[in-house]
Amino acid sequence: METNEAQPKDATARFEQALEASGTERYVLRLYVTGTTPKSVRAIANIKHICEGHLRGRYELEVIDIYQQPSLATGEQIVAVPTLIKKLPPPLRRLIGDLSDTEHVLLGLDIRPRE
């Protein structure tokens, strides 16, 4: 009978550890843009602002200009730009647009907004 009582405690401990880890996970992001167009510049500024506000010290952001590196865009099957790809933590996510809707971006990246 002790094992039955221990299981809920173990589950609670695992849940609490998962919650703790979710606040320390490292995010790996790739933003695909087309040169220095206004939309690309806006997307870069928006994602940097979001990352610094919600992921400071826990993210890597790689900005890829598909004019300079078209093979990377082909490999990722980029069909519209700007496109943000969240590589880590899983699951992989894609967000398209200038990333101006902060709530939508946070939801797409599985980030809880700070209060």
**What band does 80 get if pLDDT is binned at 50, 70 and 90?**
very high
Query: With 50 as the cut, is the pLDDT of residue 67 above it?
Result: yes
Among the four given CATH numbers 2.40.50.140, 3.40.50.300, 3.40.1390.30, 3.40.30.10, the one describing domain 26-108: 3.40.30.10
Alpha helices in 1-115 (DSSP H): 2-22, 38-54, 70-75, 102-108
Query: With 50 as the cut, is the pLDDT of residue 30 above it?
Result: yes
Report how far Cα 115 is from the mean position of its chain's Cα atoms. 19
Instruction: Give the whole-number percent of the chain exceeding pLDDT 70.
Output: 81
Q: Which contacts of 39-43 are long-range, i.e. CB under 8 A and separated by 24 or more positions?
A: 39/81, 39/82, 39/98, 40/65, 40/81, 40/82, 42/98, 42/99, 42/100, 43/82, 43/84, 43/97, 43/98, 43/99
- Give me the residue spans of the domains in the chain: 26-108
**What band does 22 get if pLDDT is binned at 50, 70 and 90?**
low
Q: What does the pLDDT read at residue 1?
A: 47
Q: What does the pLDDT read at residue 84?
A: 98
